[in-house]
Chains A and B, each alone.
Chain A
Amino acid sequence: MAQYSNYILVCGGTGCRASQSELILQNLKEAVRQNGLQESVQVIRTGCFGFCEKGPVVKLIPDNTFYVQVTPEDADDIVNEHLIKGRKVERLLYVNPETNELILDSKHINFYKKQLRIALRNCGFINPENIDEYIARDGYIALGKALTEMTPEEVIKEIMDSGLRGRGGGGFPTGLKWQITRKVQAPQKYVVCNADEGDPGAFMDRSILEGDPHSIVEAMAINGYCTGASKGLVYIRAEYPLAVERLKIAIDQAKDYGFLGDNIFGTDFSFDIQIRYGAGAFVCGEETALIHSMEGLRGEATVKPPFPSESGYKGCPTNVNNVETYANIPVILLKGAKWFSSIGTEKSKGTKVFALAGKVNNVGLIEVPMGTTLREVIFGIGGGIKDGKKFKAVQTGGPSGGCLTEKHLDLPIDYDNLIAAGSMMGSGGMIVMDEDDCMVAMAKFYLDFTVEESCGKCAPCRIGNKRLHEMLQKITSGRGNIEDLDKLRNLAMVIKDTALCGLGQTSPNPVLSTMDNFYDEYLAHVDEQRCPSHQCRELTQYFINPEKCKGCTMCARICPVHAITGSRKVPHTIDSEICIRCGSCIEKCKFDAIYVH
């Protein structure tokens, strides 16, 4: 590898690519070439940096200068000013929103300061399409160590001692799972990587596969060694073309380097990885459904036991782990169980990646030690609520999780605390909501999702969730009554108690947790036919305050359905029959004359 004195890292994550980061990359390369710097400066497309809010992001090494919201036209300045003249391009630097000071390097950005990156260790640092860069950061050393210096039992013990638990949602101890699969006698076993990230609002698996695919390949091989499996399968969403592409490249490179294939590291161990595509079914995140899908069947869940570790893919013992779980494995073997278990809380070790999104200033992918409080995440890393609004709730665990409120803000995040608080870790979606979000509508949103994604096999999920959704529909349109609330709770409890799979059993959680924490809002909907957050359309109307309206006609022009009429310089009016409550007029009005009731 050539020795470069400077590296320009361009984020190649999906968010930044959507904002032309590919063009930025090309322009930077071109600028470097034009200035004859190609011997000393390397431009690299990396995986996701995490700070999606400020994307596209470009980072310069070695001084860690962090440029945000870069455009393709900025490439020349970055090369000419920064690299050649040694002057930072100030207009591209991150500004601390509280102090208004320019932040010169990434280490001083609040968003990064409080994070600890283990699973995301390589994301945003290496070119994911180059195995050498992975190797340069100790890649495949853990596999070599496991194969040549450790017995499978020793590796499993290390994983067990580390306290690593499944990051896909359930939190089952990873080492224990491996051990169970190891103990089942069978001529053929499989290890599976579950990359069917379906939680709407979580994208860590995608980012890891896009930013650091080799860590997954390495970890799966280690898993194969431990469990006695010679075949690995990655079940990945077809909607993630970039992740698929990079994973394929990684698998090919690993084969070329002998990290996959026969007699790896000169040992008896042989291992290969194949890719299987998901096709748009959330339920396939559930292991039994996932296995059926890989077998070319409808992704319907089956009753456990038997567990996949006894009888899984094609009836063979199958160990299924999630992407983020795998990403932790090589580091644990390199740095030791002791190190890993020193991070986190008593029962939840290590870190957790969260997709922080919603009404928070710094949307992005973050990784924090277990035990970090919600407050630190939302207000520290996340930079607080957007537009100075008031925090209302945070939803964790996606459609399987629940809403946590003000009173939970100082709760240290771990598996057990979240469950005790009526939510769950899930895969790590974390959606922040403010005062404008109606909690009943939120519950309805998630039920909407569950109804669409239910496999339809068991009666409680197939019909029960449909009925839950219909009741919420009734309530949010002002047709509900107080008895509906009791019926709602009973049905939610029964679904939780009787549904066949994890998706069904957790699907009522958004209803139960919002009922527990925001019962007043439910009451307002059924007793007063009122939506306190003015979000439920049937319960809100838009009005123009004639005293404030100057008749500027802005609202009438922006209204997509022409519901607003009025002459110039005369107060306007909104026709409620036509109005679709899109809120465009409120956003455009300079005089604060439009209000919702």
Chain B
Amino acid sequence: MEKIHLPQSKIKELQAVCKEHDNDSGELINILHAAQEIFGYLPREVQEIVASELHIPVSRVYGVVTFYSFFTMTPKGKYPISVCLGTACYVRGAEKVLDEFQRQLEIKVGETTLDGLFSLDCLRCVGACGLAPVVTIGGKVYGRITPEKVRDILSEYYIREE
């Protein structure tokens, strides 16, 4: 088993969160949200800690983590890209935009680029249907995206990195 490095301070923070929720297993989802906030993702070790704090089998934690699409067990890219595939975006060509991102980044949905810069995901409706099709990168929303705009958007971030 490969060891992973979790800073003690963050573990303490997580334990404090559990305690704030009275170590109540009914609060599991709220706690996992907080855990993902702290660590950026939910690796095995984090789930083990949560299970032991809440006195529940870790299998239950894992069952919940894999049920909800919001939770992830792999670290996201520095710039997480989400392409909205809500209906409004779909009828306005979101699928083609998604294809273009996959092509440009050479990754599939759910993956992260090797340099760790970008991860690609789909989501269902961000409620900005007026701007369809919509892409979010980090907190930033891009509206009315067409496949040919994809390269420009990505270069924005590549430039920032240089």
Chain A residues at the B interface, C-beta cutoff of 8 Å: 13-15, 17-19, 52-55, 197-203, 206-207, 238-240, 276-282, 293-299, 314, 355, 357-359, 363-364, 395, 398, 429, 431, 433, 437, 445-446, 449, 452, 455, 558, 560-561, 580, 582-584, 587
Residue of B27, B103, B150 touching A296 (CB-CB under 8 A): B27
A-B contact pairs, 20 of them (CB 8 A): A14-B128, A15-B131, A17-B141, A19-B143, A52-B131, A54-B130, A55-B131, A197-B125, A206-B127, A277-B30, A280-B71, A281-B67, A282-B124, A296-B24, A296-B29, A298-B63, A363-B130, A452-B69, A560-B103, A560-B147
Instruction: Tell which of A202, A279, A298, A587 has the most Cβ of chain B within 10 Å.
Output: A279
Instruction: Tell which of B64, B69, B87, B150 has the most Cβ of chain A within 10 Å.
Output: B87
- The residues in B between 74 and 129 inclusive whose CB is less than 8 angstroms from any CB of A are 85-88, 90-93, 96, 99-100, 103, 123-129
Contact A276 B124 (CB under 8 A): no
Contact A15 B147 (CB under 8 A): no
Contact A355 B70 (CB under 8 A): no
Complex alpha-carbon distance, A13 and B131, angstroms: 12
Chain B residues at the A interface, C-beta cutoff of 8 Å: 24-30, 32-33, 63-64, 67-71, 85-88, 90-93, 96, 99-100, 103, 123-132, 134, 141-143, 146-148, 150-151
Complex alpha-carbon distance, A276 and B123, angstroms: 20
User: How many A-B Cβ pairs are below 8 Å?
Assistant: 153
B71 CB to closest chain A CB, in angstroms?
6
* Residues of chain A within 8 A of B33, CB atoms compared: 238, 277, 279
A53 CB to closest chain B CB, in angstroms?
5
Residue of A280, A298, A358, A587 touching B91 (CB-CB under 8 A): A358
Complex alpha-carbon distance, A325 and B76, angstroms: 37
Residue of B130, B142, B151 touching A364 (CB-CB under 8 A): B130
A393 CB to closest chain B CB, in angstroms?
11
Contact A587 B146 (CB under 8 A): yes
Q: Is the interface of B mostly helix, strand, loop or mixed?
A: helix
Residue of B67, B86, B91, B96 touching A433 (CB-CB under 8 A): B91
Complex alpha-carbon distance, A206 and B129, angstroms: 12
Given contacts A200-B87, A202-B125, A582-B96, contact A295 B132 (CB under 8 A): no
Complex alpha-carbon distance, A343 and B6, angstroms: 59
A140 CB to closest chain B CB, in angstroms?
27
Complex alpha-carbon distance, A277 and B30, angstroms: 6
Contact B147 A357 (CB under 8 A): no
Complex alpha-carbon distance, A197 and B68, angstroms: 15
* Residues of chain B within 8 A of A299, CB atoms compared: 67-68
Complex alpha-carbon distance, A225 and B81, angstroms: 44
Complex alpha-carbon distance, A364 and B85, angstroms: 17
* Residues of chain A within 8 A of B146, CB atoms compared: 584, 587
* Residues of chain B within 8 A of A297, CB atoms compared: 28, 64
A18 CB to closest chain B CB, in angstroms?
3
B121 CB to closest chain A CB, in angstroms?
10
Contact A207 B127 (CB under 8 A): yes
* Residues of chain B within 8 A of A364, CB atoms compared: 130
Complex alpha-carbon distance, A198 and B103, angstroms: 28
Complex alpha-carbon distance, A582 and B70, angstroms: 29
* Residues of chain A within 8 A of B26, CB atoms compared: 294-296, 314
Complex alpha-carbon distance, A359 and B151, angstroms: 26
Given contacts A201-B86, A296-B25, A431-B88, contact A18 B128 (CB under 8 A): yes
Complex alpha-carbon distance, A198 and B124, angstroms: 7
* Residues of chain A within 8 A of B142, CB atoms compared: 18
B81 CB to closest chain A CB, in angstroms?
15
- Kindly report which residue of chain A lies nearest to residue B144, judged by CB atoms: A19
A205 CB to closest chain B CB, in angstroms?
9
B57 CB to closest chain A CB, in angstroms?
13
Complex alpha-carbon distance, A201 and B29, angstroms: 25
Complex alpha-carbon distance, A519 and B111, angstroms: 38
- Kindly report which residue of chain A lies nearest to residue B65, judged by CB atoms: A279
Given contacts A558-B148, A580-B99, A582-B99, contact A279 B131 (CB under 8 A): no
Contact B29 A445 (CB under 8 A): no
Contact A239 B143 (CB under 8 A): no
Contact B103 A18 (CB under 8 A): no
B113 CB to closest chain A CB, in angstroms?
18
Contact A276 B29 (CB under 8 A): yes
Contact A449 B88 (CB under 8 A): no
Contact B131 A19 (CB under 8 A): yes
Residue of A207, A238, A455, A584 touching B147 (CB-CB under 8 A): A584
Contact B143 A18 (CB under 8 A): yes
